[in-house]
Amino acid sequence: MCRIGAIKSKVPVHPSKALHLMLPQQEGYDNSGFAMVMQDLYGVFSQYKDKPLLSMACTREGARLVEEYMDKHHFTQLAAWVPVPDKQPNLNIEALPFYIFRNYDYPEFVKEPEAREALLLDTRLALRRMLEETGEGYVYSFWPDVLTLKEIGDPRDIATYFHLWDDNGCLLAKNIIVQCRQNTNYDIVRYAAHPFFLQGYTLCANGENTFFTKNTEFQKSLFRGYIGFESDSQNFLYTLHYVLHELKWPISYYKHVITPLPFSELAQRPDRDVLMTIRQSLAHLEINGPNTIIAGLPDGRMMTCCDSKKLRPVVVGGDGEMVAISSEVCGINEILPNRDTSKDIYPNEREVVVINQDLEVERWKQ
Amino acid sequence: METIKVQDVAVNDLPWRIEYHAERCTRCGSCVASCSFNAIEVVVQRQSMTVSEQNQPSPVRRQLALAIIKQKKDLAYMCRGCGMCERVCPNNAIRPVRNPDDRKALLSRDNGPIKRGGRTNLNAQRTLDSIIVGRISQMTDPALDSVRHTFDIRAPFGRVLSPRELPLTVSGDKLEMAHRTPPVRWIYPLIFSDMSIGALSTRAWEAVALATAYLNEKCNLPVRMSSGEGGMPVKLLESEYLKYFIIQIASGHFGWNRIIKAMPHMVTDPGGILIKIGQGAKPGDGGLLPEAKVAEHVQAIRGVPKATLSSPPNHQGLYSIEESVQKMHLSLNAAFGFRVPVAVKCAASATSVAVYHNLLRDPYKICGGFFIDGIQGGTGAAAEVSLDHTGHPVVSKIRDCYLSAVRQGLQGQIPLYGGGGIGLTGNAAADAFKMICLGANGVFCGKVLIQLLGCIGNEKGRCNACNTGKCPTGICTQDPRLVKRLDVDRGAQKIVDYVLAFDKELRKLMAPIGNSSLPVGRSDALVSTDKAVADKLGIQYVC
Ligand code: SF4
Ligand code: SF4
């Protein structure tokens, strides 16, 4: 089991806020790790919001290999934040020697936005491959204004290690998506911890995807960035990316792809032709199984929805300045104690909730 | 000593022997009357008996002439083991017994190859029984409740486009269809497979049709029935019920004259068209309807005289798959205004994957389904050598086709249907479920339906006389006296009940793996206790 959470705030917040959101829910997870994706960054990265930021964890050799690769491929280093860890004894963390968060400037000759998107993806994939082959590290994201931190251990100790409790103004963001558990189904692999990130899309999922094999077999041939498959939650991200980024369909169709309406309901709909066609052609992207997802979109919006059998809950609460999404309401109570709880939203099995940049909540039924 | 001619056929050469108890027999004659194969007769036997009826021993020898039932020593009238005599006998005085020493295969080729109906008796091995649904959802991923939850048990029939080919345009926050796409029907994943009027008695065909209509109209299960080669009654062609039928065109094109003539009068489109290229029971062999079965109404439906009807082994004029697509698919699609899915049925073969590739790559996108028929499929008439020695198992073939589509990212675009041995042991739901997990969208079955109607044939040489016109259960014959044995309503009810149980059983299998829609390609849900099977199919080996 795991618990997932997200914060979207008008004022940038520290990661400790996300930890406070998650810790009250710890009965539901096993404190085996910490993973977060921050988007819309402030603090040390506020000057470089339009420059791609590389997030990685590696050995000294890994760092050298990456530097060499980036130089060779005409990326210019702009700024870096290398955390100085608090190496207290008895911390439960399986730390790697280096954590690197570094901004680059694009190679001069790559100007078009689409070409840049492709280059960032290909670069991350190449770095990942290189580090995987040599066993020298992990690269989690390479994208403007996005930072990913993942580690194995107790989330409280990981926070201590990275000074996340200090609220020292280094790391701040308006959007944070977070999760406190490693994927325990198989061997612990750092890449298997969600949130996952791909070309601006971030996704965290609580649940199980019984169509993992079916989704994976299909996704492998859809897009070169659909790799890894260390966790069934990646299926959710890749489908989100495919529907919005590749097919360029409106967001409302994502839910129709992952949890299509039953045929009997489809037949009653005025838009049944479109929905049937989608169900037909994307049958292999259907997700069957209990689940809730929280997703971050490239434009900063956040989305949440749950499966059609409603076996995994999620709640959305806010106070006008900050909205939090979380598996359990106790987390939101911790960070937003004074909100009007009567306005909390518990999305139902057919509902999608989107929070826009002004923290306005949009919700609709599939 | 009496002279023995060893070339004469003896009862102990025959595959079945009659076990007869004269002492229980009342000589009612029912067994002889019921044997459609004329395998038994009443003969008078001389018996000598010594009796003593006085107080003191006074043995007297008496000669008696007794009527008894005797089996004929003739291959043309051999007992088929159908057991009708046993059923009808009020005194349990007669029954057929399998003869382990039979020499039929050796002796009965005097007039050419042995012909029979039914399924293969040689390759009836059960791959599916070494496969178990082994991934059970528990704990974090709970099983569903087969009774409480809703399940979406439907399969596509028709050509599915890849997502990028869809004519969808964005208008505001909605998608709109720019033009229509190939027709796709979502049907029940169990298709009643093509058994023609002719192969079946009209009454048996009607029973299956009746069950089909009932399942659609009363049970909300969109089961489709394929007509089989040879056409359908005009009344049905011109009725609303046509939508539940898949009309078949096979290499003989029998019945199409009447179908085409009925087209202007059709009030609805048929459920689909199935081009039959080959049949699993006798691949590479055309259809065969022996003269004995070409009764008057069969002549009328097919538009033929009374004669043995052989369909050629292939569609004349089709030299390549491309051509098949262009000519047959295109013309049949066009005939119904591109509103009706057109699928193709082939016998499973070492080359099935190549055929599937070609269909997947066809630029017209007009093949709406690939039906693969395995060696364990049944037939009304074939040479025994074809039934037993030609063909290809369907299980690995479905898997191979599915995986080859996966490798190209084309899975699901041409729905795969597997048949030939589905329900061989009576458990069609389990068979269907496993086939679906291996990549089939659905299954088709025929033999199991007629077995539900009453056919007592099996894969151990029992009956298999479908080619003779003497079907003892009235299913596979046009002889009106035999057809009377079949109660159409009760037969249809049997099929309906079976399919309703099939549906419940499918749910019982979907629930524990946590799926509410069909687990097409969910091979991770299966394990096998046979290492070779596991390796071939790419599923987990367990022991
Ligand atoms: S078992 Fe069938 S074929 Fe054999 S004698 Fe009896 S009725 Fe005739
Ligand atoms: S009972 Fe009829 S249908 Fe069944 S095997 Fe015998 S002849 Fe064929």
CA dihedral (B483, B489, B492, B498) positive or negative: negative
pLDDT for B252 beyond 90: no
Read off the pLDDT band of A181 (50, 70, 90).
Answer: confident
| CA atoms of B121 and B362, how far apart (whole Å) | 37
pLDDT for A1 beyond 80: no
Give residue B457 CA to ligand 1 midpoint distance, Å.
12
Domain final residue pick, B49, B79, B112: B112
Mean pLDDT of the A222-246 span: 95
**Pocket flag, ligand 1, residue B40 (CB < 6 Å):** yes
Residue A177 and residue A240 in contact, taking contact as beta carbons nearer than 8 Å: no
Kindly report the nearest CA distance between residue B532 and chain A, in angstroms: 22
**B198 lies in the same domain as B51:** no
**What CATH number corresponds to the domain at position B66?**
3.30.70
| CA atoms of A327 and A25, how far apart (whole Å) | 8
Kindly report the nearest CA distance between residue B395 and chain A, in angstroms: 19
State residue A323's pLDDT score.
97
Mean pLDDT of chain A: 92
Given CATH 3.60.20.10, say whether it is the number of domain A4-365.
yes
| CA atoms of B474 and B480, how far apart (whole Å) | 8
State residue A151's pLDDT score.
92
pLDDT for B514 beyond 90: no
pLDDT in tens, A321-339: 999 999 999 999 999 999 9
Q: Chain A to chain B, count of Cβ pairs less than 8 Å apart?
A: 116
Q: Is residue B141 part of a domain?
A: no
Confirm whether residue B79 is marked as ligand binding: yes
Number of domain units in chain B = 2
pLDDT in tens, B488-498: 999 999 999 99
Q: Which residue has the higher pLDDT, B56 or B251?
A: B56
pTM: 0.94
Question: Does B404 contact chain A (CB < 8 Å)?
Answer: no
pLDDT in tens, A81-100: 888 899 988 899 988 999 99
% of chain A surpassing 70 pLDDT: 97
Atom 6 (ligand 1) nearest CA: B85
Q: Give the mutation target among B32, B35, B74, B98 for probing the ligand 1 site: most ligand atoms within 8 A of CB.
A: B35
Domain final residue pick, B112, B144, B179: B112
**Nearest residue to B226 via CA among B279, B285, B183, B264:** B279
**What CATH number corresponds to the domain at position B514?**
3.20.20.70
pLDDT for A184 beyond 80: no
- Of B156, B163, B174, which has the smallest distance from its Cβ to A250's Cβ? B174
pLDDT for A183 beyond 80: no
**Nearest residue to A178 via CA among A163, A200, A159, A161:** A159
State residue B313's pLDDT score.
78
pLDDT for A362 beyond 70: yes
Contact A248 B170 (CB under 8 A): yes
DSSP per position, B156-218: EEEPPPPGGGS-EEEETTEEEESS----EEEE-SEEE----BTTB-HHHHHHHHHHHHHHHHT
- The DSSP secondary-structure symbol of B426 reads S
Instruction: Quote the Cα angle for B177-B182-B186, to 5°.
Output: 95
Q: Is residue B466 part of a domain?
A: yes
């890894």: which residue's tokens? A228
| CA atoms of A352 and A14, how far apart (whole Å) | 27
Contact B141 A208 (CB under 8 A): yes
| Token representation of residue A194 | 């969600």
Mean pLDDT of chain B: 93
Poorest-pLDDT segment among B320-329, B466-475, B503-512? B320-329
Q: Tell which atom from ligand 2 comes closest to the C-alpha of B457.
A: 5
| Token representation of residue B263 | 């087209």
- Give the residue on A whose Cα is nearest the Cα of B166: A277
Contact B411 A290 (CB under 8 A): no
Domain final residue pick, B112, B143, B167: B112
State residue A288's pLDDT score.
85
Q: Tell which atom from ligand 2 comes closest to the C-alpha of B118.
A: 5
- Of A281, A289, A311, which has the smallest distance from its Cβ to B160's Cβ? A281
| CA atoms of A251 and B172, how far apart (whole Å) | 11
Question: What is the enclosing helix (H) or strand (E) of B289?
Answer: strand B288-289
Q: Is residue B183 part of a domain?
A: yes
Q: What ipTM describes this predicted complex?
A: 0.91
pLDDT for A182 beyond 80: no
State residue B362's pLDDT score.
86
Burial degree of B142 (CB within 10 A; 0-12, 13-18, 19+): middle
Q: Is residue B117 part of a domain?
A: no
**B214 lies in the same domain as B160:** yes
**B215 lies in the same domain as B95:** no
State residue A102's pLDDT score.
96
Domain ranges, residue B179: 156-541
Q: Which residues, judged by CB distance below 6 Å to any ligand atom, belong to the binding site of ligand 2?
A: B 117-118, 450, 455-457, 463-466, 471-473, 475-476
pLDDT in tens, B70-80: 999 999 999 99
Burial degree of A59 (CB within 10 A; 0-12, 13-18, 19+): middle
- Of B144, B162, B176, which has the smallest distance from its Cβ to A281's Cβ? B162
As a residue count, chain A comes to: 366
- Give the residue on A whose Cα is nearest the Cα of B409: A221
Read off the pLDDT band of B288 (50, 70, 90).
Answer: confident
pLDDT for A161 beyond 70: yes
**B322 lies in the same domain as B398:** yes
State residue B1's pLDDT score.
63
pLDDT in tens, A102-160: 999 999 999 999 999 999 999 999 999 999 999 999 999 999 999 999 999 899 999 99
pLDDT in tens, B141-194: 778 888 888 899 999 999 999 999 999 999 999 999 999 999 999 999 999 999
Mean pLDDT of the B196-225 span: 96
**B231 lies in the same domain as B309:** yes
Ligand nearest to the CA of B18: 1
Kindly report the nearest CA distance between residue A181 and chain B, in angstroms: 14
**Nearest residue to B251 via CA among B198, B170, B318, B300:** B318
Q: Is residue B144 part of a domain?
A: no
Mean pLDDT of the A296-312 span: 87
Q: Which residue has the higher pLDDT, B175 or A310?
A: B175
- The DSSP secondary-structure symbol of B325 reads I
Q: Is residue B300 part of a domain?
A: yes
* CA distance to A33, A135, A187, A194, B303, per residue, from A184 (Å): 10, 21, 7, 12, 68
pLDDT in tens, B257-269: 889 999 999 999 9
